[in-house]
Structure 1
Amino acid sequence: MRAEISPAPEGSFTEADGVRYHYIEMGEGAPTVFLHGGGPGCTAWSDFGPVAPLFARDRRCLLVDILQYGRSEKCVIEGPMWDFHAAKTVALLDALGIERADFVCNSWGGTIALNLAAQYHGRVRSLVVTGSMPVFYGPLAPLPEGGRRGRNARDAYYGGDGPSPEKMRGLMARLEWFDPEAIPDETVAMRYEQSVDHEEMELAARSDSPRGDWQDLTAELGRIQAPVMFCWGMQDAFLTPDYPLMLARMVPRGQLYVMDRAAHHLQEERPHDYHAIVSGFLDQKSEPIE
């Protein structure tokens, strides 16, 4: 059963350690932070809009636009990128008065949350990660396109004649969804419109590295105390399920769930199934390792 995505709520803004975040808040209960992926035009609502109302039935859901995306600040990042994002996300928690939260994350957002969990143990109760690449190697074979498939796709999308709705749909069909026919027109339009935001276009056009220095998190994964579930699509075009199985063995309390008929955005493709699996994991009363 596929949930339709509705127009994004207006959301709110807050300052956190010198940067401005945009976020959407829904529901009441245990604080749960949703961090989206890094594809062109991705926002918290584009990635989690179909599934957020399900979680909001009994959770306080905070759908955060990651810095450089959506309506959050398009700041230039210098130095290690995941360290920067983790520190700023903790500052956001402080600004919102949240001491400890669950995290539900896709791709780029999952790598941020893994680093945050490693460095700020007390701030993460549990963590769900889908389609993220915190280390630059795989257990069985080289990663597709040397681990640069996402960056190559971004370059192709913004290159040539520039972005278009057709290129956005093609990117999503090729890399993010299992069934191209199921991609909602509304999601394509939302992603395309955000991708041509003038500040986002300026970041994409820069020849230097406005996103910061890439980090391999091999050393950090072993320091994560919170329980982690890697929830993966069987047909993920970036990283096949042998990769998250490796990750699940690298973290002290890791486990893996692989969903059939799903690719890189399973929370959009199969929102009700995703909610059932993830909420069951989050509702466990397990505590971080002391």
Structure 2
Amino acid sequence: MTATAGSAPFPRVLLDGRFQHTLHTPEMDVGYLDRGSGDPLILVQAWGPRPGATASLVYGRVLERLARDFRCVAVDLPNYGLTGPVEYHEPVHDVSARAVLAVMDHLGISRAPVIGCSMGATTGIDLALAHPGRVSALLIGACHASTGGDPYLITPFPSEVSRLYAEADAAPQDAGLLRRMLHALWFDPDLVTDELVDALQTVRAARSDHWAAERRSVSVPHSNMSALAELRMPVSVVHGRCDRMVPFEQALAIGSYIGHADVRLLSRCGHWPPYERPAAFTEAVLSLLGRL
């Protein structure tokens, strides 16, 4: 089963068309999922294979529970899913934050908890620092605090997954390289199914404009680490113990700058905690919201 977005089909495994919308802005189209009712939650997609990875894929396993009590608005990152194509020459997380704000403004959401994983978490940090009045609570993890990354103390740089991603990105027709990258991205090899790999390859071919726009773009580094102490809203950090993209030492570093943040390390979990450990991730979200 597929959901149609413009001229490109998205297999259901990547995008749930029942809840998907596209917001047209002067800068770019922004794809977002809107599911459930109640107080709003903003969820921002994780980094992964471009352009087929979506917020629907990253958070699909936690939305069924969260949507019982909350209006869950999950936003696709620039040049992923239904967001883009957009070429940029600035910190990429600034572009992402504008996309999130555009959706919030469009839906009349003045303030809400922001939940992010990986690149979506760094976007949440950017948003909370630039517009603290819009973010009532922040759940982040599997991320650097800064665009361009933060120094590692122990783990080699670049990370294993980032090297495998570069190999797969240089040969977009090679499904084997994509499969290899996914095996490193997640802890459980059973998550890397033929259906998922085929779906990601299908979208790569159908939406090559998103892939090409990203390759033409330049993300300008910008450090947020020293500014983290300015955050005053409740903060939780959730990170996979076996993350081979962003090592869990980054969660400890971020927590050291945010004195009031809770830090959780999830065992047997790689780079996408909401996808790999949905029950534990959902519990962390509900625990954070209980602090409001």
Superposition TM-score, scaled by structure 2 size: 0.85
Q: Secondary structure at the match of 2:246?
A: coil
- Give distance in 1, aligned partners of 2:193 and 2:286: 24
1:179 aligns with 2:188: yes
Aligned partner of residue 181 in structure 2, secondary structure: helix
CA distance in 2, matches of 1:188, 1:246: 34
What is the one-letter code of the residue matched to 1:183? V
> 1:134–1:218: 8 Å Cα contact kept in structure 2?
yes
Cα pair 1:139 1:243 within 8 Å, conserved: yes
Aligned letter for 2:35?
A: M
Structure 1 pair 127/56, CA: closer, same or farther in 2 (3 Å)? same
Structure 2 residue aligned with 1:195:
204
Q: Does residue 1:167 correspond to 2:177, yes or no?
A: yes
Deviations 1:142-201 (A, max 9, x none): x5324x6555333211224x3333322211111x21121243444333333333322123
The 5-angstrom pairing of residues 1-290 of structure 1 reads 8-10=16-18, 11-16=20-25, 18-40=27-49, 41-135=52-146, 136-138=149-151, 140-141=153-154, 143-146=155-158, 151-160=162-171, 162-174=172-184, 176-196=185-205, 197-206=207-216, 210-285=217-292
TM-fit CA distance, 1:205: 4.5
* Alpha-carbon distance in structure 1 between the residues aligned to 2:168 and 2:151: 26
CA deviation after TM superposition for structure 1 residue 221, in Å: 1.6
Conserved 8 A contact 2:173-2:201:
yes
Q: Is the Cα–Cα contact under 8 Å of residues 39 and 150 in structure 1 kept in the other structure?
A: no
1-structure distance, mates of 2:161, 2:192: 19
Q: Which runs of 5+ in 2 are unaligned?
A: 1-11
Aligned pair in 2 of structure 1 residues 276, 237: CA closer, same or farther (>3 Å)? same
Deviation, structure 1 residue 5: 5.7
Alignment gaps of 5+ in structure 1: 286-290
Distance 1:5 1:79 in 2: 32
Indicate the RMSD between aligned Cα atoms, in angstroms: 2.4
CA contact (8 A) 2:88 2:219 kept: yes
Alignment partners' CA distance in 2, 1:244 and 1:269:
17
| Deviations 1:210-239, CA, capped at 9 Å, x for gaps | 143122212332222222111011111123
List structure 1 runs of 4+ shifted beyond 4 angstroms. 4-7, 148-151
Q: Which amino acid aligns with 1:85?
A: S
Q: The residue matched to 1:12 in structure 2 has which SS?
A: strand
Q: CA offsets, 1:62-94, max 9 Å, x none?
A: 111112111112111122332333234223211
Give, in whole Å, the separation in 1 of the partners of 2:94 and 2:60. Answer: 27
> What is the distance in 2 between the residues matched to 1:79 and 1:139?
23
Identity in percent: 23
- Alpha-carbon spacing, 1:190–1:93, altered in 2? closer, same or farther (3 Å): same
Task: Judge which range, 271-280 or 131-140, deviates more.
Answer: 131-140
Structure-2 change in CA distance of 1:221 and 1:57 (3 Å): same
Listed one character per residue, the Cα deviations across residues 238-278 of structure 1 (whole Å, up to 9, x for unaligned) are 23322211101212532201111111112111212221222
